[in-house]
Amino acid sequence: MKLLLDENLSPRLIDVLEPEYPGSAHVHAVGLRGATDEVIWNYAREQSFAIVSKDNDFRQLSFVRGTPPKVIWLSVGNAATDAILRFLKSQHAIILTFDADEEASLLVLPLPETGF
């Protein structure tokens, strides 16, 4: 599964997540810095990415539009980048199951209060 990380997530995550999520990118790396949610949505759909964001707007778009693209909404508050990295790695099996479900459009991943 290719992930497209939204601006509210660190670009540093991409290199470290590459083994689990090959072909993933950050919006900055694909020329979408400062782009509207609509532009990011369309790019993700056209390029077969799942959008990963802490932004509630993409969660809402997934309710209205369904899939594609799929949306992974991280309910992680102001968690540090390292905690988000460990969390995304730990959720790999769940994310792959979500990817395989043709009807699922939104995966909500709340960061546990402890352990990350």
Local confidence band at 78 (pLDDT 50, 70, 90 cut-offs)? confident
pLDDT of 53 strictly over 90? yes
> pTM above the 0.75 mark?
yes
Task: For residues 100 and 116, give the distance between their C-alpha atoms in angstroms, rounded to a whole number.
Answer: 26
Determine the pLDDT at residue 55: 87
Q: Exposed, middle or buried: residue 99 (CB in 10 Å: 0-12, 13-18, 19+)?
A: middle
